A and B are shown apart, each in its own frame.
Chain A
């Protein structure tokens, strides 16, 4: 089963390590942005959707779904129209165009090939990011606060 990066917001401390890890493993461009909503500081990461809107939106076929489920932008085909960035329901594709560099999360394909986890997951100091199979993820990840039952930090951030 394809594995994905999951964020357990229960554990996120907003340190930015995931973003830095991505930056330093992708030639100085980060695909993990983190921002603050009033309730929390949360990372924004590509979900590598089952039925991706960015792939459908691309006029030039530059975004492809690979066999292992990774949604990858083919830089040579990209014409820089920004459609994918507009189409993404999670807003995680950086609209900036820089040639020949990966601007969309590629799940650290080389690291995966070496049997390692993506850089952001390995770096995460609090254990909020995990790399797991979609079906293995229990409800605790889907229900915010499931793990800590009502004690969730998000509810107390106000």
Chain B
């Protein structure tokens, strides 16, 4: 029996883990105490590595559509068919009618290979299917220089400001964050989140903002920080930023965020006075709004306050940062590509990884899938999308391939295969290079990608973005309040990953949380006549679903929370592309409730 080391990619922390391997199978999880990020600790998702390696439902052989069903095929047959279809499509519709989408849980090498494959085919339709909150954050941070705090150093910090539900989405940091808070008298934990999460319960300052107003809260904190600071301390952004922030009235901030200016000033003082401080950004699907602004405001907050300050951005997908860097400036982002497809612009679509039908159950995606003439999906498990695919290819998981992933800025982790993939499944890199060979070119690695540097924050754009937040909210709320009186916020947990289409295959996850629920405040429940449970019909502008109710005091009135790891919840969020961002909007959604009996 040997122990092999690998990395977990179920979130961007990239915890290290060990797998006991004997012969051809994985026998058990071993912990990896020397790994700097997690010191051997693992959250539930980390443990799924074992089941992922052994799962009986993994795809293990290529399949080709045969009438209604799929039949098994050899790699040669599947790839030759695909190559022929690519050639035909290229001839009859032009190269731009071919699209390639990879999810951000691929290695850096695979994303680069995908980009080169697209270039060789002659199409610019290549993109990564980032989660909307990840994309917003990455876009905000792009090209900026900021000091990123190492996860393993967190315990030395005196003040930690958390945006989002950290212990729910990245539980491994809990020991360090709690440890830092109780290490010394006077250390503090500030949490900006509308829900009284387990993270917030540890906070000494909990800013219970209205959902979606996090960027405004941060702007308020920054505003009161600058007010007190001297000219020189304010530094190079000072004047412009100060003037810009002063244009956003205090009342607008406190009205839209639901937090008094005094509280924000207190938070600013605590953060500024601490010796070492960090802003941890842990956004979630359907939970936060204005993510690029949020990212830039955190950098400004870290730069403008005294002492040693930095930020720590965290993402949903394991290699979000690496994927974004490997393929910067896509001509079309993932949602734009899907829009293009639903307009009939894409005839052949290659999907690697994520099941986009379960992640974005919307008309736009369904229409796009309907318009595509030839659909290829490569993945780990049979999924919604494989019901429509003409070719289904079995991929290797990250535990079964080699490559690098960038968990944090400037730190790459190397993946080594723990076991060979099941059956004749192959790593996506190999699939792509074999396909390229059949098309008559090779995917030789090109020269190093150039890093983007030296961009500074566009203060005016930032202020414009922040200032538009309250207005947009109230205008929209006025219109929608009557019909959709509640605000639905996405909630993360440590049980499922992203849209849950992978984790719903795992035993423990299905024992603990097999189906979604919706949380409602006690008073709201009383008003609706719900006592102790029952089901409600939740309706938004884009969809509806029936969910069982959980009554709780940990959320404010007028707000509902539901785990965003289920299509039944995700279908309530509309497919809306933010023109400035060029990506799907991340925001809480307005919904209405009807009690089912």
A positions within 8 Å CB-CB of B: 11, 13-17, 19-21, 23-25, 28, 30, 41, 119, 122-127, 147-148, 151, 153, 156-158
CB contacts (< 8 Å) of B403 on chain A: these are none
Verify if B533 is at the interface (C-beta below 8 Å from A). no
Tell me if A17 and B42 are in contact (CB < 8 A). yes
Report, nearest first, the 10 A-B pairs whose CB atoms are least far apart: A20-B44, A126-B174, A153-B201, A15-B171, A125-B171, A15-B494, A23-B508, A13-B167, A127-B175, A13-B198
18 A-B pairs besides A19-B44, A125-B175 with CB distance below 8 A are A13-B198, A17-B44, A20-B43, A23-B511, A41-B198, A119-B29, A122-B31, A122-B40, A123-B41, A123-B43, A125-B38, A125-B41, A126-B174, A126-B175, A127-B179, A153-B198, A153-B201, A157-B196
CB contacts (< 8 Å) of A13 on chain B: these are 167, 171, 174, 198-199
Verify if B553 is at the interface (C-beta below 8 Å from A). yes
Task: Give the contacts of B255-310 with A (CB-CB under 8 A).
Answer: none
Q: For the complex, what is the distance from the CA of A95 to the CA of B171, rounded to whole Å?
A: 30
Given A13-B198, A15-B494, A28-B507, does the pair A21, B42 have CB atoms closer than 8 Å?
yes
Verify if B451 is at the interface (C-beta below 8 Å from A). no
Interface CB pairs A-B, < 8 A, 10: A11-B178, A13-B198, A17-B41, A17-B46, A19-B508, A25-B28, A122-B31, A123-B31, A126-B175, A153-B198
Verify if B225 is at the interface (C-beta below 8 Å from A). no
- Tell me, rounded to whole Å, the shortest Cβ–Cβ distance linking A24 to chain B: 4
CB contacts (< 8 Å) of A24 on chain B: these are 28-29, 47, 50-51, 508
Q: For the complex, what is the distance from the CA of A24 to the CA of B171, rounded to whole Å?
A: 18
Verify if B512 is at the interface (C-beta below 8 Å from A). yes
Task: Give the contacts of B187-230 with A (CB-CB under 8 A).
Answer: 196, 198-199, 201-202, 204
Given A15-B174, A17-B171, A19-B508, does the pair A147, B182 have CB atoms closer than 8 Å?
yes
Task: Give the contacts of B487-530 with A (CB-CB under 8 A).
Answer: 494-495, 507-508, 511-512
Q: Which residue of A lies closest to B198 (CB)?
A: A13
- Tell me, rounded to whole Å, the shortest Cβ–Cβ distance linking B591 to chain A: 25
Q: For the complex, what is the distance from the CA of A37 to the CA of B512, rounded to whole Å?
A: 16
Q: Which residue of B lies closest to A12 (CB)?
A: B198
Tell me if B182 and A148 are in contact (CB < 8 A). yes
Tell me if A126 and B178 are in contact (CB < 8 A). yes
Interface residues on B, range: 35 or more
B positions within 8 Å CB-CB of A: 28-29, 31, 38, 40-44, 46-48, 50-51, 167-168, 171-175, 178-179, 182, 196, 198-199, 201-202, 204, 494-495, 507-508, 511-512, 553-554
Q: Which residue of B lies closest to A156 (CB)?
A: B201
Tell me if B50 and A16 are in contact (CB < 8 A). no
CB contacts (< 8 Å) of B41 on chain A: these are 17, 122-125
Q: Which residue of A lies closest to B197 (CB)?
A: A13
Given A25-B28, A25-B29, A156-B201, does the pair A16, B44 have CB atoms closer than 8 Å?
yes
CB contacts (< 8 Å) of A15 on chain B: these are 43-44, 167-168, 171, 174, 494
Tell me if B512 and A19 are in contact (CB < 8 A). yes
Q: For the complex, what is the distance from the CA of A119 to the CA of B50, rounded to whole Å?
A: 14
- Tell me, rounded to whole Å, the shortest Cβ–Cβ distance linking B106 to chain A: 25
Tell me if B43 and A17 are in contact (CB < 8 A). yes
Q: Which residue of B lies closest to A158 (CB)?
A: B553
- Tell me, rounded to whole Å, the shortest Cβ–Cβ distance linking A27 to chain B: 10
CB contacts (< 8 Å) of A17 on chain B: these are 41-44, 46-47, 171, 494
Given A17-B42, A17-B494, A127-B178, does the pair A23, B47 have CB atoms closer than 8 Å?
yes
Q: For the complex, what is the distance from the CA of A1 to the CA of B554, rounded to whole Å?
A: 42
CB contacts (< 8 Å) of A126 on chain B: these are 167, 171, 174-175, 178
CB contacts (< 8 Å) of A19 on chain B: these are 44, 508, 512
CB contacts (< 8 Å) of B43 on chain A: these are 15, 17, 20, 123, 125
CB contacts (< 8 Å) of B50 on chain A: these are 24
CB contacts (< 8 Å) of A124 on chain B: these are 41
CB contacts (< 8 Å) of A125 on chain B: these are 38, 41-43, 171-175
CB contacts (< 8 Å) of A148 on chain B: these are 182
- Tell me, rounded to whole Å, the shortest Cβ–Cβ distance linking A11 to chain B: 6
Q: For the complex, what is the distance from the CA of A21 to the CA of B507, rounded to whole Å?
A: 12
- Tell me, rounded to whole Å, the shortest Cβ–Cβ distance linking A113 to chain B: 14
Q: For the complex, what is the distance from the CA of A67 to the CA of B16, rounded to whole Å?
A: 35
Q: Which residue of A lies closest to B170 (CB)?
A: A125
- Tell me, rounded to whole Å, the shortest Cβ–Cβ distance linking A43 to chain B: 12
Q: For the complex, what is the distance from the CA of A30 to the CA of B509, rounded to whole Å?
A: 12
- Tell me, rounded to whole Å, the shortest Cβ–Cβ distance linking A129 to chain B: 10
Q: For the complex, what is the distance from the CA of A156 to the CA of B167, rounded to whole Å?
A: 17
Q: For the complex, what is the distance from the CA of A122 to the CA of B40, rounded to whole Å?
A: 7
Tell me if B47 and A123 are in contact (CB < 8 A). yes
Tell me if B507 and A16 are in contact (CB < 8 A). no
Q: Which residue of A lies closest to B196 (CB)?
A: A157
Q: For the complex, what is the distance from the CA of A5 to the CA of B47, rounded to whole Å?
A: 20
Q: For the complex, what is the distance from the CA of A128 to the CA of B46, rounded to whole Å?
A: 18
CB contacts (< 8 Å) of B51 on chain A: these are 24
Q: For the complex, what is the distance from the CA of A24 to the CA of B43, rounded to whole Å?
A: 12
Tell me if A16 and B198 are in contact (CB < 8 A). no
CB contacts (< 8 Å) of B179 on chain A: these are 127
- Tell me, rounded to whole Å, the shortest Cβ–Cβ distance linking A118 to chain B: 11
Tell me if B494 and A30 are in contact (CB < 8 A). no
Q: For the complex, what is the distance from the CA of A28 to the CA of B31, rounded to whole Å?
A: 18
- Tell me, rounded to whole Å, the shortest Cβ–Cβ distance linking A49 to chain B: 27
Q: Which residue of B lies closest to A157 (CB)?
A: B201
Q: For the complex, what is the distance from the CA of A15 to the CA of B172, rounded to whole Å?
A: 10
